[in-house]
Chains A and B, each alone.
Chain A
Amino acid sequence: MRQSSLFSSYCRISLLGALLTFLAVPGLHAQDQSDNPKPVPVVIGGAGFITTFQGGQPQLGPLIAPVLLVPIGDKWLIESRVTFEANLTQEPGSSAFHGQVLKSIDYAQVDYIANPYMTFTVGRFLTPFGIFNERLYPIWIRNLQTDPLILPIGIGPSQASTGAMVRGGIKATSKININYTAYFSALSTYMPSNVTALDSDRLAGIRAGIFIPDQRLEIGGSFEHLLQDERSNSFGFHGGWQPQALPLELRGEYMRSARGSGYWIEPAYRLNQVPFWQYAMRRTQLVARMQQYWVGAIPSNVLPSVNTREFEFGVNYYFRDGLRAVSSYGRQFSDAGNMNIWTIGLTYRFAFPLGHGDEN
């Protein structure tokens, strides 16, 4: 039965591959001879050192996550992110910190930009359910270093899918952009010993949203159907707003599945408009996140086992582009016991070319 479903999955991926090839043929003739600079392979990514105190237990977390980007021609891109991280904790009776380095291949995908409206992706890709996993997860992007409680909903066992995806952005009117993503993931139980996990669930899903550039407002929704086990549906909504008049970011998500549901709302305010200590204030950002999680009908080993509420407040300081100090305090309330969560650390975004970055 499982072999049959695997065969069926691979048939669909092969069909998508054939479709991709079909679209590539006219695309090769239509490649514009623009005067754009020739792209060069690039390594970008984030690194950081985050110390967490959760319920009084300290944990040191060094992390580096380089992303390799290899452009091929005008329409192809190979991209992959690998994460090396350690969770160093104290063993009872010892003041020293111990732990091992965890390695994971977050994604390794091939993108083909078929036309202005469609990009095809095959390989292992971050499951685009909601926006946090795909767009806000990197250590140098996220405003608070803890994960939202509902992050594991809909993204699969290793936060990634193995299969194919089609996505794109369309200018619907002069004021509204539409973006969409449709994806299919095959079941993978591949768990090599030297990498954390490469497994994925068999599922299919879509995400669509609208973005109003003048208002800097984005709203959208996701829907996913699990094609294994209990064959349940998951859905969610996401939103983001950066008003032009204020240095404010407001983001949030709501998700619901058979395994649990919940929401998070995160405002972040840059102190640009404070009239005193302007040099320091315009580099300082205040962040808060309110979130709540409700247990679902089906137990999950990656989601909280009891209903949980959490409030976090953080202060980030940007030394310069890409380098910042982060800190936060949070209080978690649940039937399993309340606890404080402190984080403090440094994050850094790096980027360098594998070749000549400039044309001359």
Chain B
Amino acid sequence: MKIKRNVLACLSVMILAGVLCAAGQEQTKVVDTSVSSTSTDTAAGSTISSSKSVHEAAAARYEGEKRYHANCGRCHMAPHKFPSRMMVTIERHMRVRATLTDEDMKYIVRFMTE
């Protein structure tokens, strides 16, 4: 009876994990597209797309700064910037510790490493 209950529990976890995994891959694509749209636009080379990419870069920077203050301030004073390779490691640590969303982490890393 107990084994059956454990097997059922594990199966439920695996199904939930599978669904979240599939949804996660989809979400990664969407976020990557939005966050890295600046570099894609730059490749187009036209003046219009160039000014658009500058505008989007500024918007991404503003968004990154906003999320940086909102998320880091949940527990401690928002720290100054660290060197970029350190920052990536610290953000990975904070993602786990503070359960940051993937999107928040990407914006914050981008802002902190610029």
Contacts and interface: CB of A to CB of B under 8 A. Distances in A.
Given A19-B17, A39-B92, A170 B36 contact: no
Which residue, of A23, A35, A36, A113, has the highest number of chain B Cβ atoms within 10 A? A36
Given A41-B89, A77-B92, A179 B99 contact: yes
Given A40-B85, A167-B99, A77 B93 contact: yes
B24 A351 contact: no
A115 interface: yes
Interface size class of B (residues with CB under 8 A): 35 or more
Interface in A154-185: 167-171, 177, 179-181
Contacts of A131: 75
A23 B21 CA distance: 8
Contact of B85 (A12, A37, A117): A37
A111 to B, nearest CB: 5
B96 A42 contact: no
A181 B82 CA distance: 28
Contacts of B87: 37
Contact of B95 (A42, A119, A359): A119
Contact of B75 (A115, A117, A135, A170): A135
A117 B102 CA distance: 7
A340 B73 CA distance: 31
A299 interface: no
Contacts of A179: 99
A114 B80 contact: no
B18 to A, nearest CB: 9
A194 interface: no
A114 B80 CA distance: 29
Contacts of A69: 89-90, 92-93
A68 to B, nearest CB: 10
A39 B104 contact: no
A262 interface: no
Given A37-B88, A170-B101, A15 B10 contact: yes
A112 to B, nearest CB: 10
A26 B21 contact: yes
A118 B20 contact: yes
A136 B92 CA distance: 18
Contact of A321 (B14, B74, B80, B104): B80
B4 interface: no
B96 A119 contact: yes
Given A113-B95, A115-B24, A119-B96, A357 B85 contact: yes
Contact of A242 (B74, B83, B85): B74
B34 interface: no
Contact of B67 (A32, A39, A213): A213
- Which 3 residue pairs of A and B lie closest in terms of their CB atoms, listed nearest first? A115-B24, A357-B83, A116-B102
Interface of B: 6, 10, 13-14, 17, 20-21, 23-25, 27-28, 31-32, 36, 39, 66-67, 70-71, 73-77, 79-80, 82-90, 92-93, 95-104, 109, 113
19 contacts: A23-B21, A32-B32, A34-B32, A37-B85, A42-B89, A44-B90, A69-B92, A69-B93, A71-B88, A77-B92, A79-B96, A116-B28, A116-B31, A118-B21, A131-B75, A136-B75, A141-B75, A168-B99, A180-B99
